[in-house]
Amino acid sequence: MMKLRWWRVDASEVAAVTAMGVWEAVLAGGGRRFLKRKDSDAGETGRALEELRSSLYNEMHSSEGAKRQQQRFCGPSVALTFNFAVAVGIIMANKMVMGSVGFKFPIALSLIHYAVAFVLMAILKTMSMLPVAPPSKSTPFSSLFALGAVMSLSTGLANNFPLFSVGFYQMAKIAVTPTIVVAEFMIFQKRVSSQKVITLAIVSFGVAVATVTDLEFNFFGAVVALAWIVPSAVNKILWSNLQQSGNWTALALMWKTTPVTIFFLLALMPLLDPPGLLLFDWNFRNSLAIIISALFGFLLQWSGALALGATSALSHVVLGQFKTIVIMLSGYLIFSSDPGITSICGAIVALGGMSVYTYLGLKESTTTGKKPPLAQKPKAAGDGEKPGLEHEDSV
């Protein structure tokens, strides 16, 4: 019995050894090749996933990839529509702030707009949702500093509307158009076709007839309004050029220039704002209205930057004039206001000129076969938009 038990054990061991030998034989043959192929497939899949992850990261976090995403999802029509809708919204929000809330400090309100925008962008950056900026060598710091400075001047001077009449302000806005034409020719040797020049003249004439009803002259107010024209034009030119000649996205450029703008607005506030800011009643209702206005301000600055990056400084000026005409006609058609037959005729002339300008722009881009901005060689500078208060100008 003992011998039989040991024999059985030896037989099981022999069977195990035999099975191991068969398995080794399988591995030595096709089975090993099979496992090797499986390992190879897993390695290739891993490499493909790693390459996909790397490409997605570069697409979202590199300047070139972020710029491509901005161009893909925010073309000219989307950017201009976005800017138009937000501009109408901020007019309503700021009328509430300046009217019912009684916040009579336009520079301080602009400062709050930019401060809130900077905080929002800092949150996006912390969440890795803010596109990185191009290499520092591609854009000198002087260009970014100049953009932030002219943006603060454009914002601060324009929002001091108590110093001059609305009619005088509208005349100053119209004067921005020829200023941009001259400045772009002097800085970038950029020429505008004679057809566009005539069309822009018709648009400006129509806007002037439609909106300029009071030209009350105040010397200090006139100086402020005239001093605003050049910074406003340069502001738009710089925003547009930096985005189109470099790989800047709207948010990345805002992130770099907003601290400079805040610094200069702090310097302008005691010079242009009336006293009494600290005595304002900062209750929950008033603070909430100001925060809502600031959120609209961030959206307006962003949408204006997107529009300037997708189109041009002149197109953005025409959009601003279109907003003015639409708001005036909306008041006439919806709220039964009576601007007068002369203003209505001027609005119709302006809208006709804007339609022709749009047609010429589309025709020009089709015939020239213009390459997307990323295919162009870097040049220099760019432009931005202000948060907009009662007068809703932006980047």
Query: What gap in Å lies between CA 98 and CA 390, rounded to an integer?
Result: 8
- Give how far the C-alpha of residue 344 lies from the chain's centroid of Cα atoms, to the nearest Å: 32
In a domain, 15, yes or no: no
**Chain position carrying tokens 């010079």:** 271
Report pLDDT for 380: 37
Q: What are φ and ψ of residue 334, in 5° steps?
A: -100, -45
pLDDT average per 10 residues of sequence, the chain (395 residues): 45 48 49 50 62 54 67 81 90 87 91 95 86 67 91 84 66 87 86 89 88 67 79 91 84 92 93 87 92 94 91 88 85 77 88 88 65 40 40 51
Q: Both tokens of residue 340?
A: 């007068």
Contact 386, 151 (CB under 8 A): yes
In a domain, 372, yes or no: no
In a domain, 392, yes or no: no
In a domain, 391, yes or no: no
Contact 137, 185 (CB under 8 A): no
Report pLDDT for 210: 83
Structural domain for 235, as ranges: 76-367
Contact 166, 357 (CB under 8 A): no
Q: Both tokens of residue 173?
A: 């806005």
Query: What gap in Å lies between CA 34 and CA 299, rounded to an integer?
Result: 58
Q: Both tokens of residue 357?
A: 């300008």
Report pLDDT for 185: 87
In a domain, 100, yes or no: yes
Query: What gap in Å lies between CA 317 and CA 196, rounded to an integer?
Result: 13
Query: What gap in Å lies between CA 353 and CA 78, rounded to an integer?
Result: 21
CA dist 69 to 61, 208, 213, Å? Answer: 10, 39, 44
pTM: 0.74
Residues 6+ apart with CB under 8 A from 236: 176, 180, 308, 313, 316, 317, 383, 384, 385, 395
Domains identified in the chain, total number: 1
3-state SS, the chain, equals CHHHHHHHHHHHHHHHHHHHHHHHHHHHCHHHHHHHHHHHHHHHHHHHHHHHHHHHHHHHHCHHHHHHHHHHHCCHHHHHHHHHHHHHHHHHHHHHHHHHCCCCCHHHHHHHHHHHHHHHHHHHHHCCCCCCCCCHHHCCHHHHHHHHHHHHHHHHHHCCHHHCCHHHHHHHHHHHHHHHHHHHHHHHCCCCCHHHHHHHHHHHHHHHHHHCCCCCCCHHHHHHHHHHHHHHHHHHHHHHHHHHHCCCCHHHHHHHHHHHHHHHHHHHHHHHCCCCHHHCCCCHHHHHHHHHHHHHHHHHHHHHHHHHHHCCHHHHHHHHHHHHHHHHHHHHHCCCCCCCHHHHHHHHHHHHHHHHHHHHHHHHHHHHCCCCHHHCCCCCCCCCCCCCCCCCCCC
In a domain, 214, yes or no: yes
In a domain, 229, yes or no: yes
CA dist 269 to 60, 95, 138, 161, Å? Answer: 38, 20, 33, 14
Report pLDDT for 51: 60
Report pLDDT for 375: 37
Q: CB neighbours (10 Å) of residue 77?
A: 10
In a domain, 325, yes or no: yes
